[in-house]
Amino acid sequence: MYRKGKNMPSTINAMAPLVGVTPKGKHLTQEGQEAFISTYKSFCFRQLPHTVLRLDMPTYETIKALSKLRMKDWASTTRWNPDAETTGLLGELATFHFFGFSPEQALKDFKDGLSGDGGVDFHWAGEAVDVKTTRGQALKFRFNRSNKASRRATIILFSHLQEEADGVFVQLLGWAWRFRLHPWMRSDSRSDFVRIETLRREGILQPVETLKAMIEGDYHA
């Protein structure tokens, strides 16, 4: 699925030409933009289930390189996920691809988020969507209780990243209205969190396909 060609990005060793720095901050170079678009075009969802995106390791390494350009505004998050930038970016890109964003649209959103996204990853027909991505087996999704901007989103979309021997897999687990999460939020010393199994059991988590259908007028949540 990783289509090689003269414009395909190399792996993390290509970090230097991907980013430039000016007094206004970081930006993608032309090489960086080409690497982003080529990588995005190489994405492919499995036929069944079609909410699972598979990436080979060269593609994953390129995403890791691109993710380092993002502003580290989540110091608390890196305490439990040292690779938070890559995890978050993969969830967002898988979501963009699923919803049919063009490579140019995805690139614009990526560049807009280099200095922080303010708690909203994208807007879908007037709704503010925040993509939450976790890795490992716990399927526990954390919310930074000190970041008031993170409360701007009206919809939370949940995804899960799993590294395996034959590649990296990102699964879109479902979505929920943010206000419906509050009764099921729990807290520990690090953050507020919610568990996917709880949302499923309570009928709060809905398939990502229904979010598409809701916007198109074929479904009402």
Q: Give pLDDT, residue 169.
A: 92
What stretches of the chain adopt beta strand conformation (E)? 19-22, 25-28, 44-45, 52-55, 122-124, 127-135, 140-143, 155-164, 167-177, 186-187, 192-195
The 10s digit of each residue's pLDDT in 40-66 is: 999 888 766 778 998 888 888 888 888
Q: Give pLDDT, residue 115.
A: 62
Q: Give pLDDT, residue 8.
A: 39
What does the pLDDT average to over 6-23?
53
Sheet containing 192-195, strands listed edge to edge, beginning at the edge strand earlier in sequence: 140-143, 192-195, 186-187
Q: Give pLDDT, residue 21.
A: 72
How many other CB atoms are there within 10 angstroms of residue 23's CB atom? 4
The tokens describing 207, both together, are: 């398939």
Q: Give pLDDT, residue 14.
A: 44
The 10s digit of each residue's pLDDT in 138-171 is: 788 887 665 555 568 899 999 999 988 878 999 9
Mean pLDDT of all residues belonging to the chain:
78
Q: Give pLDDT, residue 4.
A: 34
Q: How confident is the model at residue 189 (pLDDT cuts 50, 70, 90)?
A: low
Q: Classify burial at 128, counting beta carbons within 10 Å of its beta carbon; exposed 0-12, middle 13-18, buried 19 or more.
A: middle
Handedness of CA 110, 149, 203, 219 (dihedral sign): negative
Of the candidates 151, 130, 146, the residue with the CA atom closest to the CA atom of residue 190: 146
Give the Cα separation of 197 and 107 in Å (integer).
Answer: 33
How many other CB atoms are there within 10 angstroms of residue 32's CB atom? 24
Q: How confident is the model at residue 18 (pLDDT cuts 50, 70, 90)?
A: confident
Query: What separation, in Å, do the N-terminal and C-terminal C-alpha atoms of the chain show?
Result: 35
The 10s digit of each residue's pLDDT in 114-133 is: 765 567 888 877 888 999 99
The 10s digit of each residue's pLDDT in 64-110 is: 888 877 755 444 444 445 578 899 999 999 999 998 899 999 998 88
* 204 has pLDDT over 50: yes
